[in-house]
Amino acid sequence: MSNTRIERDSMGELHVPEQALYGAQTQRAVDNFPISHQRMPAQFIRALILAKAAAAKANVELKQLSESQGKAIVDAAQGLLEGDYMQHFPVDIFQTGSGTSSNMNANEVIATLASRLLGEPVNPNDHVNCGQSSNDIIPTAIHVSAALGLHEQLLPALVHLVQVIERKAAEVHPFIKTGRTHLMDAMPVRMSQVLEGWAQQLKANIGHLQDLLPSLQSLAQGGTAVGTGINAHPQFAAGFSRQLSNLTQVQFTPGKNLFALIGSQDTAVVASGQLKAIAVTLMKIANDLRWMNSGPLAGLGEIELEGLQPGSSIMPGKVNPVIPEATAMVAAQVIGNDTTITVAGQSGNFELNVMLPIIAQNLLSSIELLANSSRLLADKAIASFKVNEPKLKQALSRNPILVTALNPIIGYQKAAEIAKTAYKQGRPVIDVALEHTDLSRSQLEILLDPEKLTAGGV
């Protein structure tokens, strides 16, 4: 075969692309798993490379590697992260369930680069993988990549979304709209109260994510093959977490029980469940925006979302709520990702979970999708929508449910009769109430004032 070289591993020889930094085990995985043609997520590979650098630093401290070997490994890892490192990681997501293929991919690439830097051989297994097993480094990389994704992507995006919603709430506070329950007319609410409800949902989700971080930042590293720590220095776990914390500026700690962190992926399952809850919140917000924007003539037409692109290939002038629609699709995908992670989390058979790659893929996909869609929802939908005040007032003046405010004075039954008459005749409820009660117009104007009826939720 042209443009290849011969590489060897414990199973024999095979051809590897001549310029590839990886070796035989990576090539076997490429040959064995032509399934999805999707690589492991870049965030996961980044975390794996960082973990290799942290391991090398810890092993030098513990005299398990020479200073020159450790420095070459660290420099190789840092060089990878500064470039287009994903070109060197071709292994499919659907691979061996422990992620061994991805671990050896990293070991081989870093060993090749470190050998060039050092001028002598650096071994993928004996040096780059020193004190490690795929069974602890892959669960560690899942936790590290998810924790970094929350710190760097999702939490800042959610905070931004909350800030935009709260600014918009202050802007639209003067506007009062018809509330709706069961999609039917209900008591009036301020537009700001609607948005403040969204903000509070998101704040609760942010709090739940922050509560999860200590568990995600607790690592399996040091457990090696089954949790006993075989072939790792007794102080390796502590040294590794300290070095990784220095590299990432995020505080990582050794897990309290390494058997649990290798044999299960319960923390990932819990994290995914919280991501699903955020997806549900975003779906609610997106659908509220779509309903309020519906029309402009035959729908509610309470707000006008920013027009971003033509909405139809056949109907000229049509503009659709594209950002809320995209957000709703993200929510659906995240909910699906959670189902996959739930099933995968059940595959902790004895001392190892064997669906680690798909857990990593779906968890990191959910984090990225939610982060990106949250920013778009904030900046291209919520920040820029306009309120259609005439439409709000028109609907509010004819809302028969306003008669609810008269219940304490005239009773539920009488109020129901007034509401039905107002609806049937298409008249303002105040006019019908004037005919069917002893209350004066001035009294009714006070009792049925929509602004006063929203005060209970302020």
* The one catalytic residue among 36, 37, 66, 312: 312
Q: What is the DSSP letter of 411?
A: -
- Residue owning tokens 């070796």: 23
- Backbone conformation region of residue 279, classed left if phi is above 0, alpha if psi is from -120 to 50, else beta: alpha
98 in Cβ contact with 138 (< 8 Å): yes
Burial of 41 from C-beta contacts in 10 A (0-12 / 13-18 / 19+): buried
The number of CA neighbours under 13 Å toward the Cβ of 242 is 10
Question: Residue 197 and residue 257: Cα distance in Å, rounded?
Answer: 40
The pair of structure tokens assigned to 328 is 């709703």
Helix intervals (H) in 7-64: 24-32, 42-61
Angle at 444 between CA 442 and CA 449, to 5 degrees: 100
Report long-range pairs for 423-429 (Cβ below 8 Å, ≥24 apart): 426/398, 427/398, 428/397, 428/398, 429/398, 429/399, 429/400, 429/402, 429/403
Angle at 298 between CA 296 and CA 302, to 5 degrees: 50
CB atoms within 10 A of CB 286: 23
Question: Residue 415 and residue 436: Cα distance in Å, rounded?
Answer: 9
| Catalytic (active site) residue 312 | yes
Q: Sign of torsion, CA 361 364 367 373? A: negative
Among residues 137, 123, 131, the alpha carbon closest in space to that of 235 is found at 131
* The one catalytic residue among 2, 182, 313, 442: 182
Question: Residue 179 and residue 421: Cα distance in Å, rounded?
Answer: 20
User: For residue 208, which amino acid is it?
Assistant: H
- Per-residue b/e over 317-340, b at no fewer than 16 CB within 10 Å? eebbbbbbebbbebbebbbebbeb
Question: Residue 168 and residue 191: Cα distance in Å, rounded?
Answer: 10
Report long-range pairs for 448-457 (Cβ below 8 Å, ≥24 apart): 448/402, 448/403, 448/405, 448/406, 450/176, 450/188, 450/396, 450/402, 451/176, 453/187, 453/188, 453/402, 453/405, 454/176, 454/188, 454/189, 454/190, 454/193, 457/189, 457/190, 457/193
* Residues with catalytic function: 182, 312
